[in-house]
Amino acid sequence: MRPEILHPVFMGLNTIKGVGERSLKLLSNLAGDKVIDLLWHLPANIIDRRSSPSLREAVSGRIYTLKVRVIDHLPPKTKKHPYRVVVEEVHPQAVVPEQLTLVFFKVYADSIHKNLPIGAERVISGKLDNFNGGWQMSHPDFIAKSEDFEKLKSVEPVYPLTAGITNKMICKWMPTALAKLPQLPEWIDSHLLKQKGWNSFNSSLLVAHHPQSLDDLSPASLPRVRLAYDELLANQLSLAFARDRSRKKNGRIIKGNGHLRQKVITTLPFQLTNAQKRVLEEIYADQETETKMLRLVQGDVGSGKTIVALLAMLNAVECSCQAAIMAPTEILARQHFETIAPICDTLGLKVGILTGRNKGKERKKLLSDLADGFINILIGTHALFQEDVTFNDLACVVIDEQHRFGVQQRLGLSKKGDRADVLVMTATPIPRSLVLTAYGDMDYSQIDEVPPERKPVDTRVISLEKISDVVHALQRKIISGSRAYWVCPLVEESEKSDLAAAKERFESLQKIFGEDVGLVHGKMKDAEKDDVMTRFKNGDIKLLVATTVIEVGVNVPEATVMVIEHAERFGLAQLHQLRGRIKRGIEASSCLLLYGYPLSETARERLNIMRETENGFLIAEKDLELRGGGEILGTRQSGFCSFRLADMSVHKDLLHVAHQDAKLIINTDPQLSTSRGEALRILLYLFERDNAIKTYTAG
């Protein structure tokens, strides 16, 4: 149950006075549908109204708060002209008061006369402009009586907005929302609080909503750092609970005699790298314990994760158990099958593949063999989750590209086995800090080495103006027997779709390459897509025009050239993934990054990083630095944790502090029964991580 103290901030936004039915919908889309969501909606800028110089000292284009006397009204001659009011400054330093014209468009004359009667003193605030040698202020933001002068000389927070919601509206609602926040107990360790110089949570949130300078808006300001730590601590504590719970789950001891694995290792045409050997030792150690394995293996493109996964699965098969590997797409599932099945055939093992395409008698026979234990390793897509898929004795589950699946799907597959171990693999480069926030419930291994026989990719950055030279070079490559990808750009919605761009490029290249060019995109049916990919693999198609559908895992060792059009529109991680498609073979390969103008400083830096390094882990860290805490690696689409207050490009050091703090809490107060523990319960509910408590207490 959510603590009663938090009930006011978890009420709907319609409990805030002035939020009507229309604004409720717009505000919900902007911030969320609860009061707490509005409180997390922090200002992004300020309007500083404190400056009130004499007009002689004023600077055009700035916001000022001025005391004035109304001199005259100049009504418009036609409806097209504005209404003007002439005022003169009332300032102690103005020996000869200067005049200023207030300009109003589409307003009622009666209203202006009422607010600005001739001879009256008023306070106005707004942007001052110099027009035709005289001062003017169009539609002042505020017009008030002279006694309100000091009150108007304030700093106004500016919030992120959406159509239909103005800053004035949010500034009007926010005090009511803040008033609903009760005084909360302190959940941060007192030594850390003192060391960092942080104030209380309530005080920090209040200051964050009332910035007095641009420095106060910085993620590095003390109040915002404190709030970021609160959010990170809630994240790390919830993951620590999940991790602790999974470690207490009974597993089974999987320790094969090694005869199958040794046969595979001796017949491989290459030697395992030291990184692969190290990671395998970590996996085998997990499998041998009585607790369930839950381990993430992160390896760069071409680092050899598939063979590591196979050897982990063979450990289970050596114990007369079954194993399964799940991939996010049918193309990837079939690719795993094509890699694993021939190796297992030589060992006398049966490998099956299950996707949405398996129908009728074929599917029935496959499921029957699986249930009877005749299939040793099953490879598949989401189809593995279906109720009628029953294993004889599933002991090892491998999930490829975990971020494309939800946690529930991962749990769903492992439940099909008897205390099955779970191994998660990803080739997506993830910064170490994001590994902690997204996969903090797992043990972590890194294959940080690529096989020595793989040659580096020659990456070049070329202007789109030289596209005809690129096409001619491509012709020479294809004539010499190479195969190539041409990736079409991400396109702004307002222009046209990515698909339209791909079709357009395909048609232009078809005039040059004829039948040697093919097209693949995400809107195609799986069967069509697979057919084109098969023809490309077989060499019937030499040049494949594609959208980013080929980003993950497609394996064509003969493809040695990658052209990425409008590379400046892609993120670093995506560019790295795409380049990985031409690192499958041992031939030297080339990646051409075509860019268009204008090129932003960030885009230029991204392309330079791609040219300078192939290290996915380094690229991931650079991606985090360049993109800040927003859409890292497209996190919102990829199931990664997104934060409201923490910015991982600024606060990643805090994450490690929160990680250590969470470990300490789990070890010293696992039931959160101390006074700090009670406060931490409130923290978890405040940041809606209460599932951690429910999951943990449920055993």
CATH number for the domain spanning 66: value is: 2.40.50.140
Cα(620)–Cα(218) distance, rounded to whole angstroms? 24
Please name the residues in contact with 525: beta carbons below 8 A apart, sequence gap of 6 or more: none
Instruction: With CA atoms as reference, report the closest residue to 212 among 138, 251, 155, 287.
Output: 155
DSSP 390: -
Query: For residue range 269-300, what is the model confidence (pLDDT) as tens digits?
Result: 889 999 999 999 999 999 999 888 889 998 88
Instruction: With CA atoms as reference, report the closest residue to 434 among 234, 641, 599.
Output: 641
The larger pLDDT score, comparing residue 631 to residue 4, is at 4
Maximum separation of any 2 CA atoms in the chain, in Å: 102
| Strand residues in 281-417 grouped as ranges (E) | 294-299, 322-326, 351-354, 377-380, 394-400
Cα(179)–Cα(185) distance, rounded to whole angstroms? 16
Please name the residues in contact with 695: beta carbons below 8 A apart, sequence gap of 6 or more: 241, 242, 245
Domain boundary among 447, 477, 492: 447
In a domain, 651, yes or no: no
Structure-token match 């808006």, residue found: 217
How does the average pLDDT of the chain come out, rounded? 87
In a domain, 230, yes or no: no
Q: Given this model, what pLDDT does residue 586 score?
A: 66
Do 333 and 392 have their domain in common? yes
Q: Given this model, what pLDDT does residue 291 score?
A: 87
In a domain, 681, yes or no: no
Global pTM value: 0.73
Is residue 102 within 8 A of residue 124, CB to CB? The reply is yes
Tokens encoding 94: 């103005």
Do 201 and 311 have their domain in common? no
Query: For residue range 315-325, what is the model confidence (pLDDT) as tens digits?
Result: 999 999 999 99
pLDDT, mean of residues 448-463:
86
Which residues in 108-136 are b (16+ Cβ under 10 Å) and which e? eeeebeebbeeeeebbbbbbbeeeeeebb
Task: Report residue 554's pLDDT band, with 50, 70 and 90 as the boundaries.
Answer: low
Domain boundary among 401, 426, 447: 447
**Which phi and psi angles does 397 have, rounded to 5°?**
-115, 125
Domain boundary among 382, 417, 447: 447
In a domain, 271, yes or no: yes
Torsion of CA 411, 414, 418, 419, to 10 degrees: -70
Query: For residue range 372-391, what is the model confidence (pLDDT) as tens digits?
Result: 999 999 999 888 888 889 99
Please name the residues in contact with 95: beta carbons below 8 A apart, sequence gap of 6 or more: none
Residue 492 pLDDT > 60, yes or no?
no
Task: Report residue 595's pLDDT band, with 50, 70 and 90 as the boundaries.
Answer: very high
Judged by DSSP in three states, 498 sits in helix
Q: Given this model, what pLDDT does residue 160 score?
A: 94
Do 316 and 438 have their domain in common? yes
In a domain, 570, yes or no: yes
Do 287 and 432 have their domain in common? yes
Residue 409 pLDDT > 60, yes or no?
no
Do 297 and 403 have their domain in common? yes
pLDDT, mean of residues 455-463:
91
pLDDT, mean of residues 474-485:
92
Q: Please give the tally of structural domains in the chain.
A: 4
Is residue 560 within 8 A of residue 585, CB to CB? The reply is yes
pLDDT, mean of residues 356-374:
91
Judged by DSSP in three states, 469 sits in helix
Residue 639 pLDDT > 90, yes or no?
no
Domain of residue 183: give its range: 4-46+158-217
Q: Given this model, what pLDDT does residue 44 score?
A: 94
Task: Report residue 123's pLDDT band, with 50, 70 and 90 as the boundaries.
Answer: very high
- Proportion of the chain above pLDDT 90, given as a percent: 60
What do you get for the CA distance between the two ends of the chain, in Å? 17
Judged by DSSP in three states, 323 sits in strand
Q: Given this model, what pLDDT does residue 633 score?
A: 37
Least confident of 210-214, 406-410, 505-509: 406-410
pLDDT, mean of residues 21-37:
93
Do 184 and 205 have their domain in common? yes
Do 23 and 66 have their domain in common? no
pLDDT, mean of residues 628-643:
46
Task: Report residue 413's pLDDT band, with 50, 70 and 90 as the boundaries.
Answer: low
Query: For residue range 566-579, what is the model confidence (pLDDT) as tens digits?
Result: 999 888 888 888 88
Do 515 and 476 have their domain in common? yes
Please name the residues in contact with 534: beta carbons below 8 A apart, sequence gap of 6 or more: none
- Looking only at the bridges linking them, the beta strands covering 483-487 and 543-546 are parallel
Do 133 and 164 have their domain in common? no
Do 296 and 189 have their domain in common? no
Task: Report residue 542's pLDDT band, with 50, 70 and 90 as the boundaries.
Answer: very high
Task: Report residue 638's pLDDT band, with 50, 70 and 90 as the boundaries.
Answer: very low
Q: Given this model, what pLDDT does residue 395 score?
A: 94
Which one-letter amino acid corresponds to residue 563? Answer: V
Structure-token match 């926040």, residue found: 181
- Proportion of the chain above pLDDT 70, given as a percent: 92
Is residue 169 within 8 A of residue 3, CB to CB? The reply is no
Do 342 and 443 have their domain in common? yes
In a domain, 660, yes or no: no
In a domain, 345, yes or no: yes
Q: Given this model, what pLDDT does residue 330 score?
A: 82
Query: What is the CATH classification number for the domain harbouring 477?
Result: 3.40.50.300
Query: For residue range 146-192, what is the model confidence (pLDDT) as tens digits?
Result: 999 998 989 999 999 999 999 999 999 999 999 999 999 999 999 99
Do 85 and 163 have their domain in common? no
Task: Report residue 490's pLDDT band, with 50, 70 and 90 as the boundaries.
Answer: low
In a domain, 228, yes or no: no
